[in-house]
Amino acid sequence: MDRAQFADFLRRSRSRLTPTDVGLPVGARRRTPGLRREEVAQLAGMSVDYYTRLEQQRGPHPSAQLLAALARALRLTDDERDHLYHLAGQPPPLAAGCADAHVRPGLLLILDRLYDTPAQVFSDMGDTLAQNALSAALFGDFSGLPQAERNIVWRWFARPGSRGLFAEEAHDRLGRIHVAQLRAVVAAYPDDTRAAALVRQLLSVSPEFAELWADHDVAVRRGDTKTVLHPMVGAVELDCEVMLGDRHRQRLVVYTARPGSVAQERLELLRVVGLQDLRSPDPDRHPAANPAGG
């Protein structure tokens, strides 16, 4: 790991961004341009002390998961993301036949601008790659979860408690949608080792998944309507619009409430309340801390 170059690249990448670029409030006057260290740490889901040590060339070797979080927080392009990995002494994460988890800066810019509408970026196999603040308030914050737990299909079948944000009568339909989407991905990308491994793991832990998988339903998800049972504001009925990204391996999902509806009022209330007490690491303290979006 080239600590000096790694630290310099972090500082320069941080200095070129403004709070507006990443969906944060501008706040008080700043003495220096760019984001503060604590803001980058917040966006990357890490402690300020850890990030500070990286910039001071004294931190531990960052993991691949942490590098991915930094690349998203700093809005790096694909080439810049690869450079960050090389400086850290690790190969870039995109392997042959596997989906890229790096969200392009342009897509993140759209996500940040949707301040009054929940929105999330997913990989085609169901990995939650990025959320805006209102999405985290509605579904729970995924940023601090291990990679496997950020996959909506894995959580749905291996962590049935995550279904609590949706009415029980919708569970069968949503489960079938998840399986049909995953079936389409496995067929379209037979060399994707992660997708194949996910299917094997789910077959081993969930009889329900195995039964649905045997039905061989296939569908690419492009839109839906669902009702979220939020523990603070109540039922929120949302239209889900799916926007496919480059090569369809990533998709931006935007959740909108109909104008003048009760759902719109409840979303506005949730936006005002914000993330207060919704980032708890203990899923037993608050249902929204046990993420279930999708």
Q: Which tens digits make up the pLDDT trace of 173-214?
A: 999 999 998 988 888 888 788 888 999 999 999 999 999 999
Distance CA 128, CA 152 (A): 7
Structure tokens at 145: 């979860």
* Residue 285 and residue 143 share a domain: yes
Kindly state whether residue 93 falls inside one of the protein's structural domains: no
Q: Is residue 215 packed enough to be buried (19+ CB in 10 Å), middle (13-18) or exposed (0-12)?
A: exposed
The per-residue pLDDT of the chain, averaged, comes to 81
Residue 275: per-residue pLDDT = 55
* 20 and 165 assigned to the same domain: no
Q: Which two tokens stand for residue 31?
A: 């003495």
Same domain, 243 and 112: yes
Hey, what amino acid is at 222?
Answer: R
Judgement on whether residues 116 and 157 belong to the same structural domain of the protein: yes
What was the pLDDT predicted at 27?
66
Confidence at residue 178, expressed as pLDDT on a 0 to 100 scale = 93
Is pLDDT at 96 greater than 60 in this prediction? Answer: no
In this structure, are residues 22 and 43 in contact, taking their beta carbons and an 8 Å threshold? yes
- 244-256: average pLDDT: 79
Are the beta carbons of 124 and 195 closer than 8 angstroms?
Answer: no
pLDDT for 245 equals: 64
Does 219 lie in the same domain as 78?
no
For residues 65 and 161, membership in a common domain is answered with no
The single-letter code of the amino acid at 257 is A
Is 70 exceeded by the pLDDT of residue 97? no
Average pLDDT over residues 231-235: 90
* Region of poorest pLDDT, from 6-15, 89-98, 177-186, 285-294: 285-294
Q: Which of 45, 61, 87 is the last residue of a domain?
A: 87
Any bridge partners for residue 234, and if so which? 230
Same domain for 255 and 189: yes
CA distance 277 to 191: 41
Give the pLDDT confidence of 8-36 residue by residue, as tens digits.
888 888 888 888 777 776 666 666 678 88
Give 90: exposed, middle or buried? Use CB within 10 Å, 0-12, 13-18, 19+: middle
Does one domain contain both 145 and 246? Answer: yes
- Render 105-166 in DSSP notation, one character per residue: HHHHHHHHH-TTS-EEEEETTSBEEEE-HHHHHHH---TTS-TGGGBHHHHHHH-GGGGGGB
Closest C-alpha to 175, from 139, 150, 208, 207: 208
In the predicted model, what is the mean pLDDT of residues 243-248?
66
- Band the pLDDT of 287: cuts 50, 70, 90: very low
Domain total for the chain?
2
Range of 9's domain? 3-87
In a domain, 219, yes or no: yes
**What was the pLDDT predicted at 264?**
93
The CATH code of the domain that includes 213 is 3.30.450.180
Kindly tell me if the per-residue pLDDT of 278 is higher than 50: no
pLDDT of residue 176: 92
pLDDT in tens, 118-157: 999 988 889 898 888 899 889 988 877 777 788 999 999 9
